[in-house]
Structure 1
Amino acid sequence: MQFGIFTVGDVTSDPTTKTVPTEAERIKAMVTIAEKAEEVGLDVFASGEHHNRPFVPSSPTTMLGYIAARTSRIILSTATTLITTNDPVKIAEDYAMLQHLADGRVDLMMGRGNTGPVYPWFGKDIRQGIPLAVENYQLLRRLWREDVVDWEGRFRTPLESFTSTPRPLDGVPPFVWHGSIRSPEIAEQAAYYGDGFFANHIFWPTNHFQRLIDLYRRRFEHYGHGSADQAIVGLGGQVFMRKRSQDAVAEFRPYFDNAPVYGNGPSLEEFTEGTPLTVGSPQEVIDKTLTFREKFGDYQRQLFLMDHAGLPLKTVLEQLDLLGEEVVPVLRAEFDRLRPAHVPEAPTHAGLRAAATGTLEEGTDLVEAAR
């Protein structure tokens, strides 16, 4: 089981002090947060991709490459790579390059984004969002798996005898998650290829995400990749902790009300009741996160949103200390205890490489292979 954090990279005023970080301060804070995540023993740091204010991570590979040089263990991922508005050729080359720089500590999450104006900014039509996602990803897979590609599709110029460079590290493409908060077509796409499906379950209702994940699991089995409970599932969530629950609620409330992700809507209490948001003690975070397995089955990756809504960097780093010291060790042990032997761990580059070359010894867990 992998545990980590993801950032949306918002530049938001602190509602308690009215201070607003500069773009440079926010970008450097994300780097500091990634370094801290590795320090406290988390497995994954993931960055969103946005091209509109109030968000700043418009170039995830640039930031993740810089973080790769400053870390040694943590997996670097995207919380969204815009498969609809980015050229698949550029994605193939950028992330293969990042793979080499990070010694394989790279995967990525494909998504369509949640901001309509981005499409025309990049010369695309939002009404073609799903067909773009399907066609572009089909090309991306071929670019990573075939040395020479001839291609003709609907949405980009044809390719003739094209080779993307560099080639994926060790001949193993980065593992891909397909992220969605609403689209069954994306769950179907993930299942078809045997990729991971990430339900960014930070909004409600839970039963919507249960339906998406159930669809993905059933179709994963239908396409012959394994049994439904062996499908590779990731979940999002968000937490804010203090030693005492009432302190956490009092401190976080103004930030929740101010949040660009979900502020100005339902109350904090309504949101915590209907979504994965947990505002309380570390034990409450443990208890609620363990219920995700009951709702969604055994899964492979849990990412938390922790650095948004204007929270000061100092506060976020304190949150990471609590997460790494008091929450994740308990969750890791409990999820590992409950996971049946036939349910796989999350893929890693080393595990995928071993499987591809036939060097994985019988009975060896992919996580062990990655160590």
Structure 2
Amino acid sequence: MEFGIFSVSDVTRDPVSGETPSEAERIRGLATIAKHAEEVGLDVFAIGEHHNPPFFSSSPTTFLAYIAGQTERLKLSTSTTLITTNDPVRIAEEYAMLQHLSNGRMDLMLGRGNTAPVYPWFGKDIRSSLPLALENYNLLHRLWREDVVDYDGNFRTPLQGFTSTPRPLDDVPPFVWHGSIRTPEIAEQAAYYGDGFFANHIFWPSEHSLRLIDFYRQRFEHYGHGKASQAIVGLGGQTFIAKNSQDAIDGFRPYFDEAPVYGHGPRMEDFMKQTPLTVGSPQEVIDKTLTFRETFGDYQRQMFLIDHAGLPTKTVLEQLDLLGSEVVPVLRRELDAMRDPEVPASAPTHAQLVRDKYGDAEPRQPRPGANRGDNVTGGSPYRN
């Protein structure tokens, strides 16, 4: 089982101190948080992609490449890579480069995002959001697996004899998650390719997320990738921890009440009852997280949101200390003990994907040559 944290990269006023960090302070702070996630024994760090204030993560690959250079074991991922408004050619190039720089310690999650104005900013029509997501991923999938791609679709200029560079490390593409909160077509796409499916699992009851996850599992089996129970599922979650429950409630309440997303809305106690949000002691976080398995079955990745709503870096680092020392070791032990032995314990690693493709043989290391496309003239070596 993989455990980690994910960030939406908001730059938000701290309602307790009254101070709003600068973008520079927030970027440096999140880098410290990411590195500390490895130090306390977590497995994954992920960051989202946004192109509007109050968020700073417009270039997640740049941030993750920096973290890759500062860590040794931590797997790096995204909590959304915008498959709709990014050119799939750029996604193929940037994440293959990150794959090389991290020595395979990465994967990514594709999604449509939740900011409507981003579509016209990048010359796209939000009414085409779903077909954009489907067509762009179909192209991305090919760009990572075919040395030379000819393509003619509805949403970008054609490609003739195109080779995306660099080629994936060991000629093995990164593992991909598809994230959605309400769209069965995205769950269907994840199942069709045998990719992972990630449920944000923050703002709604677990039953809301269960509908899509059950559908994804059924279609995963339908397409012959394994049993429904073996489908690769990730869940989000939201937590604030203190040694005792009342300190956690008192500590988080001002941040909850002023949070840009749900502040000035439901009472924190009501939100805790109705959603996966857990505010309490380490044991309370453990108990509630274990209920996720009761709802969804065995799954492979549990991510926690702990750095939002203006929480200062110092407080987030304290949260990480409690997660790493008192929560995750127990969850890992309990969930592993309950897991069906036929169900994967984690998402595929790069090393595992290499073994699946090559067995004991040496992996292919692509090099420029006669089998490659011609990105200068647009010609193909297979044409006269």
1:81 aligns with 2:117: no
Matched position secondary structure for 1:240: strand
1:26-81 CA distance string (max 9 Å, x none): 01111000000000000000000001111110100000001110001000000000
1:109 aligns with 2:109: yes
Matched position secondary structure for 1:185: helix
Alpha carbons 2:144, 2:168 under 8 Å: kept: yes
Structure 2 residue aligned with 1:162 = 162
* Structure 1 segment 336-351 matched on structure 2, within 5 A: 336-345=336-345, 346-351=347-352
Structure 1 residue aligned with 2:357 = 356
Distance in 2, matches of 1:174 and 1:326, equals: 32
Structure 1 residue aligned with 2:43 = 43
1:276: how far off?
0.9
Structure 1 residue aligned with 2:252 = 252
1:285-335 CA distance string (max 9 Å, x none): 000000000001100000000000000100000000000000000000111
Structure 1 residue aligned with 2:96 = 96
Structure 2 residue aligned with 1:270 = 270
Structure 2 residue aligned with 1:327 = 327
Distance in 2, matches of 1:154 and 1:104, equals: 32
Q: Which has the higher contact order (CA 8 A, sep 6+)?
A: 2
Distance in 1, matches of 2:220 and 2:349, equals: 19
* Structure 1 segment 203-352 matched on structure 2, within 5 A: 203-345=203-345, 346-352=347-353
Structure 1 residue identity aligned to 2:293 = R
Distance in 1, matches of 2:97 and 2:83, equals: 18
1:63 aligns with 2:77: no
- CA-atom RMSD in angstroms: 0.9
Structure 1 residue identity aligned to 2:348 = P
Structure 1 residue identity aligned to 2:349 = T
Distance in 2, matches of 1:170 and 1:264, equals: 50
1:119 aligns with 2:119: yes
Distance in 2, matches of 1:277 and 1:249, equals: 12
Structure 2 residue identity aligned to 1:353 = V
1:189-228 CA distance string (max 9 Å, x none): 1111110000000011321211010000000001111010
Matched position secondary structure for 2:237: strand
Segments of 5+ residues of structure 1 without an aligned counterpart are: 361-371
Structure 1 residue identity aligned to 2:34 = A
Matched position secondary structure for 2:340: coil
Matched position secondary structure for 1:295: helix
Distance in 1, matches of 2:260 and 2:137, equals: 29
Alpha carbons 2:205, 2:276 under 8 Å: kept: no
1:257-306 CA distance string (max 9 Å, x none): 11123323211011110111100000000000000000011000000000
Structure 1 residue identity aligned to 2:297 = G
The total of aligned residue pairs comes to 360
Structure 1 residue identity aligned to 2:149 = V
Structure 2 residue aligned with 1:28 = 28
Structure 1 residue aligned with 2:365 = none
1:359: how far off?
3.5
1:97-143 CA distance string (max 9 Å, x none): 00000000010000000010000000001111110000000000000
TM-score normalised per structure 1: 0.96
Segments of 5+ residues of structure 2 without an aligned counterpart are: 362-384
Q: Percent identity among equivalent residues?
A: 74
* More deviation, 73-82/266-275: 266-275
Distance in 2, matches of 1:326 and 1:306, equals: 16
Matched position secondary structure for 2:6: strand
Distance in 2, matches of 1:328 and 1:268, equals: 24
Structure 2 residue aligned with 1:128 = 128
Distance in 1, matches of 2:358 and 2:266, equals: 51
Structure 1 residue aligned with 2:375 = none
Distance in 2, matches of 1:206 and 1:34, equals: 27
Structure 1 segments, 4+ long, off by >4 Å, are: none
Structure 2 residue aligned with 1:138 = 138
1:182: how far off?
1.5
Structure 1 residue identity aligned to 2:215 = L
Distance in 2, matches of 1:351 and 1:359, equals: 12
